[in-house]
């Protein structure tokens, strides 16, 4: 329905009642051009629980098998299912946190996630899982030989290694 602004001004309260009763919006025009719309307020459910009551109709037997083979029954590997399992496993025990990444590293990670067809979150989770569960490999290091003093004489008499103040005095020549 479309009405002029003049008519709307004269019949505003009645039009509001009509819209509320019928649920049909009214377009308000000025010089023949639409400028506003009077529309009903959408009904909001009181609670999430039960708001879809009486909107579903069951047709047929919902318990019986659909007689279609599933990849789980046939033993076929389904890549989508394995990604979904990993994602749901991660979401079950997930925690939000903020991490700081170098911009170049973040760009490379985003490109890699897109190349693999996974989310950035899943790529980061898989990388962390790999780093945490893989045994740490030590890099081969060159053997270092430490200098050894071969001078004779041993410990100076009267030096108590448990008295650090006396050792410092001795080293600085304040015996």
CATH at 30: 3.40.1620
Residue 58 lies in a domain: no
Residue 18 lies in a domain: yes
pTM for this prediction? 0.29
The 3-class secondary structure across the chain, one letter per residue, is: CEEEHHHHHHHHHHHHHHHHHHCCCEEEEECCEEEEEECCCCCCCCCCCCCCCCCCCCCCCCCCCCCCCCHHHHCCCCHHHHHHHHHHHHHHCCCCCCCCCCHHHHHHHHHHHHHHCCCHHHHHHHHHHHHHHCCCCCCCCCCCCCCCCCCCCCCCCCCCCCCHHHHHHHHCCCC
Residue 92 lies in a domain: yes
Number of domains in the chain: 2
Q: What residues make up the domain containing 22?
A: 2-38
Kindly report, residue by residue over 17-63, the tens digit of the pLDDT: 999 899 899 999 999 899 999 998 877 766 777 777 778 777 777 66
Kindly report, residue by residue over 157-167, the tens digit of the pLDDT: 777 778 888 88
């Amino acid at each position: 329905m479309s009405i002029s602004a003049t008519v709307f001004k004269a019949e505003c309260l009645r039009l509001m009642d009509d819209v509320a009763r019928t649920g049909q919006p009214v377009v308000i025009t000025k010089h023949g051009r639409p400028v506003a719309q009077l529309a009903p307020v959408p009904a909001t459910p009181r609670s999430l629980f039960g708001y879809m009551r009486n909107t579903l109709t069951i047709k047929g037997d919902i318990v019986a098998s659909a007689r279609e083979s599933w990849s789980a029954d046939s033993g076929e590997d389904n890549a989508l299912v394995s990604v979904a399992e990993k994602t749901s496993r991660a979401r079950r025990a997930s925690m939000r946190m903020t991490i700081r990444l170098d911009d170049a590293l973040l760009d490379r990670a985003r490109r890699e996630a897109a190349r693999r067809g996974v989310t950035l979150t899943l790529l980061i989770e898989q990388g962390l899982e790999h780093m945490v569960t893989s045994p740490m490999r030590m890099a081969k290091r060159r053997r270092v030989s430490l200098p050894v003093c071969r001078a004779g004489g041993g410990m100076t008499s009267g030096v108590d290694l448990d008295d650090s103040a006396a050792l410092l005095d001795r080293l600085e020549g304040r015996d």
